């Protein structure tokens, strides 16, 4: 068995490899070559923790395994990240364990890659202004990956906790772009691409605030009850997702489906666009929305890629097991 420790991931994984792994697995899911198993997520009644598994199998790459972990709210006080995860990969031919891979950084990278894939395939080619809603841990990963998809000239941002906006400013400046903190009205009006990445349980961005032609990647809603944008905005948009079943149950689509304004049949797997089976955006005025719920196969794809890189660089630890 190979081990790739969390501390090695930053030196191994780059955004390009991550993008390719995630784009490839979305395409495989849409072809029916890869599928996610039902997600388990439980409050364990200890340390206020939420713990679970996401798992699946990709018949094309033979990535088989699971990501296990969750959220421990008391970790920060112990000097640890609240979100904790580890990926275990298995040999699809024998069932033997193949690799144990640190999953914390990979989660942020694969989540950013998912919205970047949506921007690559759905945003207007002339997009210039990136709008960020959310300034937490994921936000800088999201911004860096998004900025590589179009010739953005400016980043604007809004956050529920304005004191956190420094993170967005620093990330934009690191990419050589100006940053402006704005109201939600201004953000919706000016941004060509909007990423929402918050833990909100109530709509932040309203449909009336969003200009025609915008692409929105809703990345924060990954649990029943969470919500980042008004259901009317989802109903107005052409809607894409990583996996329809998750979009309806735990993603941003859950609210518009529940109030009857979004027919689940209208939600398109982004893999169909990647595979050329759906045209994606069809006009410069169209509002496109990607509901990125986060699937186990994304984790397996990036973990498999990082194991290959670790072997090549000679940093994978091999143990008899
Ligand atoms: P974080 O705790 O570092 O940041 C939380 C963000 O949400 C901050 O911007 C904060 O200001 C904002 N926020 C907190 N309470 C809010 C409220 N009541 N209303 C509006 N905004 C509020 O978290 P993070 O690691 O950056 O993750 C952000 C979200 O992304 C979480 O909901 C997480 O579950 C989700 N996530 C999704 C995926 C996926 O694959 N889709 C992957 C990882 C994380």
Give the E-state strand segments of 72-197 in sequence order. Answer: 83-90, 97-102, 129-133, 154-158, 179-181, 193-196
pLDDT of residue 99: 98
Confidence of residue 41 (pLDDT cuts 50, 70, 90): confident
pLDDT of residue 275: 98
In the chain, the largest separation of any two C-alpha atoms, in whole Å, equals: 59
What is residue 3's DSSP assignment? E
Q: How many CB atoms lie within 10 A of CB 158?
A: 26
| pLDDT tens column, 217-241 | 999 999 899 999 999 999 999 999 9
292 lines ligand 1 (CB under 6 A): yes
Q: What pLDDT is attached to residue 259?
A: 97
Domain range annotation of the chain:
2-107+297-318, 124-294
User: Residue 315 pLDDT > 90, yes or no?
Assistant: yes
Q: What is the mean pLDDT of residues 82-100?
A: 97
Dist. CA 183–CA 187, nearest whole Å: 6
CA dist 116 → 3, 26, 31, 138 (Å)? 28, 13, 21, 13
pLDDT tens digits for range 149-182: 999 999 999 999 999 999 999 999 999 999 999 9
The predicted-structure confidence for 101-147, as pLDDT tens digits, reads as follows 999 999 999 999 999 999 999 999 999 999 999 999 999 999 999 99
Angle among Cα 178, 179, 180 to the nearest 5 degrees reads 130
Q: Which of 160, 198, 250 to mutate to test the pocket of ligand 1 (most atoms within 8 A of CB)?
A: 198
Please give the CATH number for the structural domain made up of 124-294: 3.40.50.720
The answer for residues whose C-beta is within 8 angstroms of residue 85's C-beta and 6 or more apart is 67, 68, 69, 70, 103, 104, 106, 107, 299
Return d(Cα 57, Cα 92) in angstroms, integer.
8
Residue-averaged pLDDT of the chain: 97
Q: For residue 228, which atom of ligand 1 is closest to its CA?
A: 20
- Which ligand 1 atom is at minimum distance from the Cα of 133? 9
* Residue-level length of the chain: 321
Task: State whether the beta carbon of 137 lies less than 6 angstroms from ligand 1.
Answer: yes
E strands, the chain, are 2-4, 34-36, 40-43, 50-58, 63-71, 83-90, 97-102, 129-133, 154-158, 179-181, 193-196, 201-205, 215-218, 227-229, 238-241, 268-269, 288-291, 317-318
Known active-site residue 67: yes
CA–CA dist 21, 297 (Å, integer): 10
For residue 200, how far is its CA from the centre of ligand 1 (angstroms)?
7
Query: What are 243-302's pLDDT values in tens digits?
Result: 999 999 999 999 999 999 999 999 999 999 999 999 999 999 999 999 999 999 999 999
Closest ligand 1 atom to residue 198 Cα is: 7
Helix axes 296-313, 15-31, angle to 10 degrees: 140
Homologous superfamily assigned to 2-107+297-318: ornithine cyclodeaminase, domain 1 (3.30.1780.10)
Looking from the CA of residue 221, the nearest atom of ligand 1 is: 32
Instruction: Find the angle CA(222)-CA(249)-CA(160) to the nearest 5 degrees.
Output: 35
Sign of CA pseudo-dihedral 293, 296, 300, 301: negative
Q: Which of 26, 111, 138, 224 to mutate to test the pocket of ligand 1 (most atoms within 8 A of CB)?
A: 138
pLDDT classification of 210: cutoffs 50, 70, 90:
very high
Q: Select from 181, 197, 242, 294 the residue to mutate for testing ligand 1; criterion: most ligand atoms less than 8 Å from CB.
A: 197
Helix (H, G, I), strand (E, B) or coil at 255: helix
Catalytic residue among 54, 67, 98, 226: 67
C-alpha 21: how far from its chain's center? 13
Structure confidence by residue, pLDDT tens digits, 20-35:
999 999 999 999 999 9
Coil, helix or strand for 129?
strand
Residue 139 CA to ligand 1 center (angstroms) comes to 9
Give the residues across from 133 on adjacent strands. 158, 196
Q: How confident is residue 183, by pLDDT bands cut at 50, 70 and 90? A: very high
Q: What is the CA(306)–ligand 1 centre distance, in A? A: 25
């Amino acid at each position: 068995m190979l081990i790739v420790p969390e501390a090695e991931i930053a030196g191994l994984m780059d955004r390009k490899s991550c993008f390719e792994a995630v784009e490839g697995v979305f395409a495989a899911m849409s072809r029916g070559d890869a599928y996610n198993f039902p997600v388990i997520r439980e409050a364990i009644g200890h340390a206020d923790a939420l713990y679970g598994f996401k798992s699946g199998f990709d018949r094309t790459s033979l990535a088989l395994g699971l990501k296990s972990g969750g959220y421990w709210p008391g970790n920060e006080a112990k000097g640890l990240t609240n979100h904790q995860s580890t990926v275990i990969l298995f040999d699809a031919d024998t069932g033997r364990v193949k690799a144990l891979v640190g999953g914390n950084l990979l989660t942020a990278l694969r989540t950013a890659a998912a919205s970047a894939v949506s921007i690559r395939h759905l945003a207007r080619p002339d997009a210039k202004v990136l709008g960020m809603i959310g300034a937490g841990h994921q936000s800088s990963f999201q911004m860096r990956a998004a900025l590589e998809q179009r010739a953005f000239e400016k980043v604007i941002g809004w956050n529920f906790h304005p004191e956190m906006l420094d993170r967005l400013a620093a990330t934009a400046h690191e990419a050589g772009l100006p940053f402006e903190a704005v109201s939600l009205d201004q953000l919706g009006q000016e941004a060509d691409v909007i990423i929402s990445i918050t833990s909100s349980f109530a709509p932040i961005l309203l449909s009336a605030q969003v200009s025609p032609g915008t692409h929105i990647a809703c990345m924060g809603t990954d649990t029943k009850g969470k919500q980042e944008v008004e259901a009317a905005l989802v109903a107005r948009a052409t809607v894409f997702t990583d996996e329809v079943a998750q979009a309806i149950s735990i993603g941003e689509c859950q609210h518009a489906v529940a109030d009857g304004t979004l027919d689940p049949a209208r939600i398109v797997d982004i893999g169909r666009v990647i595979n050329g089976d759906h045209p994606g955006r069809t006009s410069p005025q169209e509002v496109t929305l990607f509901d990125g719920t986060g699937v186990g196969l994304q984790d397996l794809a990036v973990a498999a890629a990082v194991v290959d890189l670790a072997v090549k660089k000679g940093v994978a630890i091999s143990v008899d097991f």
